[in-house]
Structure 1
Amino acid sequence: MTAYDDDHCSRIVKLDVGGKIFKTSISTLTKHDSMLKTMFVTRIPVKKDDEGCIFIDRDSQHFRLILNFLRDGQMALPDSDREVKEVLAEARYFLLDPLIELCEERLETSISPYYHVVSTVLEARKYIFATEKPVVVLRLPVYIATNGSQCYYFSETKFREFAELHHKLVSFVLITEPEFNEDCSWTFFLKTKKITARVKGPADNNLLEDCFTQLLEDVKERRRESSVSEDN
């Protein structure tokens, strides 16, 4: 490495990440293969804000964790699975494979006993069609987790609460899709019909509650039919 390279790598840079300023060295940003390394070792154009800081159009909430991982090659992940998913979304954006693996390993070991977690609709089908229970599927767009989206937080919270209460009578499947970029999509597979609901946030609570009501009526009907069948 030349003296010029040493000077270049030790240079301090300012990054404007979603409006918040971070200061770090080029050596930190280029320590691991990632999109950030590509930005500083190639001549690809970069955007700058009015103050001359390199602008990155991402939510700043977890960027500190990204920098810590770049510095040390390891980090303590948040306790919340939801926050780990948010960090995972950022790691995927920055193409930081070791952090992607760390997040995915953590999520694999903390899956809820109340529902199945898959990453594609195709994977979900094996759970939808392999049970006699009614099924609730939540298709969750992971990419919006980092934007503080009401859609994401509201739907995930309702899904977890309902799964914990009714998992013995209803099968629950959570699809977390990095490429899915629409509103949270709920699908209720009942005995004689399928209900689909697009949920943007708390304002759609009544719509969701109506779907839950129909779901529980379906559960009751199945139990009545089962009871009659046993009596005969």
Structure 2
Amino acid sequence: MSSENQIVKLDIGGTVFKTSKSTLTRFDGMLKVMMETEIPVTKDESGAIFIDRSPKHFDLILNFMRDGDVELPDSEIEIKEIQKEAHFYMLHGLVDKCLEKFIGKPKEIPKLLRTIDSDSELLQIISLVVKPVLVFHCPVNSFGCIDFPLGFNVNEFLEEHENRFKIYFKPFKTDGISMASEWKWTVYTGKYSIESPTKDPRQTFEESLEQHLRDCINGF
């Protein structure tokens, strides 16, 4: 049997899956790294590679790796779960597919949000900083709507953070379809600004944002 046809056993959270090495190495990501490098791996008592993740959507993940495509469910809750697992396994194609699932369902900008409509307005706001200003730069599609990052609950975020930050949303137009992955943010403190860094592909937008805002708060 060739190396590519080698059968590999994976113990995902207590459930054992069998697949070929060629499937696991088809796309760049964590599983390919595990198969092609000397990175240390944990094995269970049967010799299967153990990964401490939920097995719930791993069948779907394997099917994506086999075919390069997969039918996603309509449930937004399940899409969030699948996207989170895709982030963990660093399968960027599946992450993008989860995001694209809801492109056809754009959400209008909630009226309660404070928006900034021009660079001059932004300059006025950040020149009079009393408490740190958080500005979200959010893409607007050709229908005049914004696609919010998957799983990002704006109202909950505002309730949790508006006591620490003055929060604004600065829409910008895109050519055609806007992608939620194009969202960026900047924190202005009056002395300096902090821009959203390159996101860890294993994290959702909100996970990355919360992590860096904690660092910002500790640095104030």
Q: TM-score, normalised by structure 2?
A: 0.52
The answer for the alignment partner of 1:160 in structure 2 is none
Matched, 1:137 2:132: no
| Structure 2: tracts of 5 or more residues without a match | 112-133, 139-153, 158-203, 212-220
Following superposition, the deviation at residue 48 of structure 1 comes to 0.6
Q: Distance in 2 between matches of 1:181 and 1:54?
A: 32
| Aligned equivalents of 2:75, 2:137: Cα separation in 1 | 24
CA-CA distance at 1:106 after TM superposition: 1.2
> Structure 1 residue aligned with 2:136, among 78, 98, 123?
123
The 5-angstrom pairing of residues 152-171 of structure 1 reads none
- The runs of 5 or more residues in structure 1 that have no matched partner are 1-5, 126-135, 140-174, 183-232
- Match in the other structure for 1:74: 69
Give, in whole Å, the separation in 2 of the partners of 1:42 and 1:176.
29
Provide the C-alpha distance between the structure 2 equivalents of 1:68 and 1:54, rounded to a whole number of angstroms: 19
Find the residue that maps to 1:107 and give its secondary structure. coil
Amino acid in structure 2 at the alignment position of 1:33? D
Structure with max Cα Rg: 1
Q: Which residue of 1 aligns with 2:88?
A: 93
Give yes or no for contact 1:47–1:55 (8 Å, CA) kept in 2: yes
CA contact (8 A) 1:28 1:70 kept: yes
Matched to 1:97, the amino acid is: H
3-state SS, counterpart of residue 22 of structure 1? strand
Q: CA deviation at 1:55?
A: 0.4
| Deviation of the 1:51 alpha carbon | 1.6
Q: Give distance in 1, aligned partners of 2:77 and 2:96.
A: 16
Q: How far 1:178 moved relative to its partner?
A: 2.9
Deviation, 1:79, is 1.0
Q: Percent identity?
A: 45
CA distance in 2, matches of 1:40, 1:74: 21
Kindly indicate whether residue 65 of structure 2 is the aligned counterpart of residue 102 of structure 1. Answer: no
Give 1:14's aligned residue. 9
Aligned mates of 2:101, 2:15 — CA distance in 1: 28
1:34 aligns with 2:12: no
Shift of 1:108: 2.8
Report what 2:206 is aligned to.
Answer: 177
The count of residues paired between Structure 1 and Structure 2 equals 129
Q: What amino acid maps onto 1:99 in structure 2?
A: L
User: What does the per-residue CA deviation read over 1:106-147, in whole Å, with 9 as the maximum and x for residues that have no partner?
Assistant: 13323456969xxxx74399xxxxxxxxxx7124xxxxxxxx
Alignment partner, residue 52 of structure 1: 47
Q: How far apart are 1:180 and its partner, in Å?
A: 6.5
> What is the DSSP-based 3-state SS (H/G/I as helix, E as strand, rest coil) of the residue aligned with 2:69?
coil
Higher relative contact order at CA 8 Å, sep ≥6: structure 1 or structure 2? 2
**How far apart are 1:181 and its partner, in Å?**
7.3
Task: Tell me, in whole angstroms, the C-alpha distance in 2 between the residues paired with 1:176 and 1:31.
Answer: 26
Check the 8 A contact 1:34/1:94 in 2, yes or no. Answer: yes
**1:46-101 deviation line (CA, Å, top 9, x unaligned):** 11112211001111111111100000000001111111111111111111111111
Equivalent in the alignment of 1:23: 18
State the 1:105 CA deviation.
1.1
Report the Cα distance in structure 1 between the residues aligned to 2:155 and 2:137, rounded to whole angstroms. Answer: 8
1:63 — aligned with what?
Answer: 58
Q: Give the 5 Å matches for 1:186-201.
A: none
Q: For 1:75, give the aligned amino acid.
A: V
Deviation for aligned residue 1:42: 0.7
**Contact 1:14/1:24 (8 A) holds in 2:** yes
Whole-angstrom distance in 1 between the partners of 2:31 and 2:15:
17
**Change in 2 beyond 3 A, CA 1:81/1:46:** same
CA contact (8 A) 1:84 1:107 kept: no
